[in-house]
Structure 1
């Protein structure tokens, strides 16, 4: 195997955080961490089985392949030794495009790390490059939390996102599997998915999702559908015990807040019960009331 070496400086310091988070990452700044680049036979390189990215856009891959044919590999991929092969830590898309371009070898940074750290870096690198679909991203966040015992705040710090962004992205995995597939396929956006989360009945979720796809509805229109779906007609026995004025007030509040509202009048004081469906729905209702 022909090997050509050249200095690289900080290695992965530009790729991942330089701050230790829950024993996940180590600073790359020290002089003894400097790396070199080696040209490795492309046939000896294998993908990382823990790679969070499951779909590679064929047109984008072809475009990258043509660019590599013209300009070569501008940024080396990162690998680790795995028996007699080299497993990819970061850069599977470049590796695939290089194979497509007919390259015999590819510039690589070889990292001396174990399988666990390799998986962490592969997850973080892919998330930070923002080339995952929303479901792949949610699965990657959940894997970081479950496999490495990280909190949402720790994951947020590692990938440079807010805690609420991490939480809301992971919540997409609570949707019906059919909707998860729709988001993965690009038929629905993450915004559609988050709006549909407020519909607890999975059959109603699917019905609403298909309506959105068939009629090309936007997120605002999806939110409106979700509100109407969640407002159930009051039972007849309850209606019969309530004053018509109270019922009218309840219906007005339901329309305004997009959720079920129950007014409980009393001789000297009464109650207003407002239902919400998760933290995001609560934030939406509070914002409506405040504004």
Structure 2
């Protein structure tokens, strides 16, 4: 007998239920929840699929100092270890777990939830999206993951997460920018407003570097994107130099007179150069030689 597959959760009620835990984790100043357990810290492991890989050291130090003084106010959300061991895996609250280790705590309050792998990943992404200090690229990547991995639409995400649809759409467009520009967004050298003005621009990278160098505002960036970069591209060694109008006209007149393609290469500042005449057949070559009065028999 085949087992019945688990019914997929719809976004609305399903995500709303997940959001109840996430909201508590993201806003620790809210009314503390009573923990289900107090667990030895060594029995807790981070989620290996946690999408957030970097934790700023400064805020982490501040959190560790606060925990050392007041303890952990909001319990972490965990599930029992998927491998069937005695420990627990973090669903939400990895920053507090890291800070608790720095503060040398031996035990941590937790809320135990029975979430599957899909729900754990979904919560981790939502938790990161709701962070105030999240950079726009990581936030956009979170929306993209929720849409691609879980089939959520921008409209449904907008309703469930309390974000406008235009906010979600505009942030996701940032992911079309070159990786170097995205790195400027992650580091804070550019804002999302700066970057939006560069989307689809054929000189976006050059403009981004100029914006940073000149410390332009978003309004100034929008104007710059319309007229193009003020910092000109350096000439590439060996790149062809545009021909002057007189040389082009001589080429055209000779080509019309001979009925063959004539190319003149006359480097600027030099007396000499070369002229190339292309012929398509031996008959054309004979005609050319006659024209020069040097017929070869």
Bin for the TM-score computed over the shorter chain: 0.5 to 0.7
- How many correspondences in the alignment? 205
Q: Is the 8 A contact 1:198 1:226 kept in 2?
A: no
Instruction: State the secondary structure of the residue aligned to 2:110.
Output: strand
Distance apart, 1:27 and its partner CA:
4.0
Distance apart, 1:66 and its partner CA:
0.4
Distance apart, 1:183 and its partner CA:
0.7
After superposition, the Cα gap between the structure-2 partners of 1:36 and 1:94, relative to the gap in structure 1 and judged at 3 Å, is closer
Distance apart, 1:80 and its partner CA:
1.0
Q: Is the 8 A contact 1:20 1:27 kept in 2?
A: no
Report the counterpart of residue 89 of structure 1 in structure 2: 91
TM-score by length of 2: 0.64
After superposition, the Cα gap between the structure-2 partners of 1:131 and 1:46, relative to the gap in structure 1 and judged at 3 Å, is farther
Q: Does 1:64 align with 2:74?
A: no
Report the counterpart of residue 120 of structure 2 in structure 1: 118
Per-residue Cα deviation, 1:242-265 (whole angstroms, up to 9, x for no partner): xxxxxxxxxxxxxxxxxxxxxxxx
Separation in 1 of the partners of 2:61 and 2:179?
31
Q: Which has the larger radius of gyration?
A: 2
Report the counterpart of residue 132 of structure 1 in structure 2: 134
Distance apart, 1:205 and its partner CA:
1.1
After superposition, the Cα gap between the structure-2 partners of 1:162 and 1:26, relative to the gap in structure 1 and judged at 3 Å, is closer
Separation in 2 of the partners of 1:180 and 1:23?
34
Distance apart, 1:72 and its partner CA:
0.4
Report the counterpart of residue 15 of structure 1 in structure 2: none
After superposition, the Cα gap between the structure-2 partners of 1:54 and 1:190, relative to the gap in structure 1 and judged at 3 Å, is farther
Distance apart, 1:62 and its partner CA:
0.3
Report the counterpart of residue 216 of structure 1 in structure 2: 215
Q: Is the 8 A contact 2:35 2:75 kept in 1?
A: no
Separation in 2 of the partners of 1:26 and 1:223?
38
Report the counterpart of residue 21 of structure 1 in structure 2: 11
Per-residue Cα deviation, 1:111-133 (whole angstroms, up to 9, x for no partner): 11111011111211222233321
Distance apart, 1:167 and its partner CA:
0.5
- The runs of 5 or more residues in structure 1 that have no matched partner are 1-18, 231-291
Q: Is the 8 A contact 1:52 1:139 kept in 2?
A: no
Report the counterpart of residue 145 of structure 1 in structure 2: 147
Instruction: State the secondary structure of the residue aligned to 1:196.
Output: coil
Separation in 1 of the partners of 2:190 and 2:67?
32
Per-residue Cα deviation, 1:45-95 (whole angstroms, up to 9, x for no partner): 222233332321111110110000000001111011122232211111111
Distance apart, 1:219 and its partner CA:
0.9
Separation in 2 of the partners of 1:26 and 1:196?
35
Report the counterpart of residue 52 of structure 2 in structure 1: 53
- The runs of 5 or more residues in structure 2 that have no matched partner are 1-8, 21-32, 230-297
Per-residue Cα deviation, 1:18-56 (whole angstroms, up to 9, x for no partner): x96257426489xxxx98421112222222233332321
Separation in 2 of the partners of 1:39 and 1:207?
54
After superposition, the Cα gap between the structure-2 partners of 1:178 and 1:147, relative to the gap in structure 1 and judged at 3 Å, is same
Taking only aligned residues, the RMSD between alpha carbons, in angstroms, comes to 2.3
TM-score by length of 1: 0.65
Question: What does residue range 185-204 of structure 1 map to in structure 2 within 5 Å?
Answer: 185-199=187-201, 201=202, 204=203
